[in-house]
Chains A and B, each alone.
Chain A
Amino acid sequence: MSTMTPAPVTTPAASGATGDASRGAIPRTRRTARKTRSAAVKAVLVVLLLGFTLFPAFWMLSSAFDKSAGAGGQTLLPREWTLANFEYVLTEGGFDVFLRNSAIVALVTVLASAVLALLASVAVARFRFRFRTGMLLMILVVQMVPLEALVIPLFVQVRDLQLLNTLLGLMVVYVALSLPFGIWMLRGFVAAVPIELEEAAYIDGASWGRMFRSVLLPLVMPGLVATSVFSFITAWNEFIFAMTLLGGATENYTVAIGLKQFFGEHSNEWGYIMAASTIITIPVMIFFVIVQRRLSSGLVAGAVKG
């Protein structure tokens, strides 16, 4: 599918027959007509896009606040609003504990992988040394490895270390999972900083460490923010390792696997499930929308500012 607006066919010859007086006027009205049409097409596309993009989130919210969610005959907006679903989820549902667990895991993962990825990406982007390309290939290869292949040996490894059912085992795994992509992304941001800026710092007598702190770090900051968002999301959303490594320990569940609780043998409590899903999703969404501008413009801005 393409949302390109079809270019209206303009034939210069068609307007050539009219007299001198209108020569300037006709192209102008044409241009206006063309603009109106393309604006209308754009408006329709935007509406369709917003509908497709937002419906699941909207439906999740609507069901979470609906007193009779899952009872059948639900309307687009709840007939009776309620907070009972959230109350149940946060108390008896155990989500207060799951949220705390997920927050701890995500925070540790973000900090550890940001530091490791930044250092590594500087090396990969800035220094020419042997195996540099090989290193990049390895990072890409590691990024491509399916979690299903890692979960079996890591399950055995974590079990041997007696870390099954603990958050520590999970954190260590998440740092490793978010590192390759972090290095891969940050490498682009570091490479976008003009090398002349670094050389200027050296000419001014700065050591490598000073240059790193005062030149590279501020310019790469948008990239670091973007990378941190990714590792946060990796840790917050990860499912297969949480399910496998935390198997029996309900009190250590992260939010992603806590949802399973509300699936019954015969019927699913959709009101609870959607309320819990809302609780999980909202922090990620707020976070995302806040950093959106930095995400999209970070690379370009970082490169030009110098």
Chain B
Amino acid sequence: MQRRSPLTRLRPWLLLGPALAVLAVLLLWPLVRVFLFSLQDYGLREIVSGEPNWIGLANYGEIFTDPTLWTVVLPNTVGFAVLAVACTVALGTGVAVLMASLGPLWRTVVGSAIMIAWAMPAVTGTYVWIWIFDADRGIFNETLQALGLQDEPVNWFTNRYTFYAIVLLNVVHHGFPFVAITILAGLLGVPKEMLEAAEMDGAGAWRRFWRIIVPNLKQVFAVVIILSTIWDFKVFAQVYLMPGGSGSNREALNLGVWSYVESFGQNRYGFGSAIAVLLTLVLLGITVVYVRTMLKEDEL
């Protein structure tokens, strides 16, 4: 083995140093600061003068007594995330299993197709979905009308549920390829002999999936679910860019958009920071739960 010279002992820290410095200055310090802002009445005047104006927990008090939080923002954020993660992981797993059973040619075709869905940037993808569901000339309305299912074009963006249905379609379409590719990579690593032995013993595809593949890929599933949950809790562009999504339709607000709109729309940076801190705490809670389940399974 290696000699334990000082360089050897210091090496991890030398390797980590640059990355840690960047993360500390650009991610950790801002996180501390957003918390400090949330305890202030921080508006344009404070930005320019730099004078703090501490108001304690008043921002948080205002958030928790605001009915918008309980009736609109929380249901939109949590309900949406739960649905989106369930759909994304289920669809992604299904596609991975399908791809694993295909021959090389079709696996490449399907793989390339889902890469296209994955590669579609969130911003342009959102615009395409808006265009598909456009109230005046979108193909969705025109098709429904041509089929005689509705007489007049419907504006799908004004109703809160159809609004989020479109966001869900958008987010799942964009999110399932990552899940599929990651799980496929894991699937291909499951020993073939194990699956063949199970098949010889008469285990059907469904049983093989739950008894062999799922236990073997627990770690992969854990990572995929963690990341999907984290991503789906903080969807921003997919909501903000939709018609009415940037604050004019209060029914469509989620935590992230509410925070942004209050900060940069109303110049209430303190209040916006408090909302952002709450969103961060929610995500932190989820992360802690997942990390604990992962640590139980295996050392990190």
Contacts and interface: CB of A to CB of B under 8 A. Distances in A.
B175 interface: no
B91 A122 contact: no
A289 interface: yes
B211 to A, nearest CB: 13
A86 to B, nearest CB: 15
A199 B12 CA distance: 17
Contact of B15 (A119, A140, A143): A119
Contact of B206 (A7, A50, A141, A256): A7
B121 A256 contact: yes
Interface in A38-74: 42, 45-46, 49-50, 52-54, 56-57, 59-60, 63, 70-74
Given A5-B205, A259-B124, A176 B27 contact: yes
Contact of B115 (A146, A175, A239, A289): A289
A146 B8 CA distance: 36
A197 interface: no
B95 interface: yes
Contact of B120 (A274, A281, A299): A281
B189 interface: yes
Interface string B40-61: 0000000100000000000000
A148 B95 contact: no
A239 B123 contact: yes
A270 B131 CA distance: 7
The B interface, classified by DSSP as helix, strand, loop or mixed, is helix
A149 B276 contact: yes
B75 interface: no
Interface in B106-160: 106, 109-125, 127-129, 131-132, 134, 136-137, 139, 142
Interface in B231-248: 233-234, 236-237, 240-241
Nearest to A51: B113
Contacts of B283: 144-146
Is the interface on chain A under 10, 10 to 19, 20 to 34, or 35 or more residues? Answer: 35 or more
Contacts of A157: 30, 33
A127 B11 contact: yes
Interface stretch (A15-23, A25-33, A92-100, A128-136): A128-136
Interface in B43-93: 47, 87, 90-91, 93
A300 interface: yes
A142 interface: yes
B206 A296 contact: no
Nearest to B20: A120
Interface string A232-257: 01001101100010000000000011
Nearest to A290: B115
A304 B115 CA distance: 25
A72 B137 contact: yes
Interface residues of B, number: 101
Contact of B291 (A5, A116, A137, A159): A137
A300 B116 contact: no
Contacts of A256: 121, 123
Contact of B185 (A54, A180, A297): A297
B184 interface: yes
Contacts of B227: 143
A50 B116 contact: no
Given A73-B142, A119-B15, A133-B300, A145 B27 contact: yes
Interface in B210-246: 226-227, 230, 233-234, 236-237, 240-241
Given A120-B16, A154-B26, A280-B121, A297 B188 contact: yes
Contact of B28 (A3, A142, A237, A280): A142
Given A72-B137, A273-B131, A296-B181, A116 B19 contact: yes
A286 B9 CA distance: 43
Contacts of B122: 237, 239
Contacts of B131: 59-60, 63, 270, 273-274
A144 B276 CA distance: 13
Nearest to B189: A300
17 contacts: A1-B91, A4-B209, A45-B98, A46-B102, A116-B19, A137-B291, A138-B23, A143-B230, A146-B256, A146-B280, A154-B26, A208-B8, A208-B11, A240-B260, A268-B134, A274-B131, A285-B115
Interface of B: 1-2, 8, 11-13, 15-16, 18-20, 22-23, 25-31, 33-34, 37, 47, 87, 90-91, 93-95, 97-98, 101-102, 106, 109-125, 127-129, 131-132, 134, 136-137, 139, 142, 173, 181, 184-185, 188-189, 204-206, 209, 226-227, 230, 233-234, 236-237, 240-241, 255-257, 259-260, 263-264, 269, 272-273, 276-277, 279-280, 283-284, 286-287, 291, 300
Given A140-B287, A156-B269, A274-B131, 5 more contacts: A1-B90, A72-B136, A123-B12, A123-B16, A180-B23
9 residue pairs, one from A and one from B, having the closest CB atoms: A7-B204, A176-B26, A149-B276, A3-B94, A120-B19, A277-B124, A153-B33, A153-B30, A123-B15
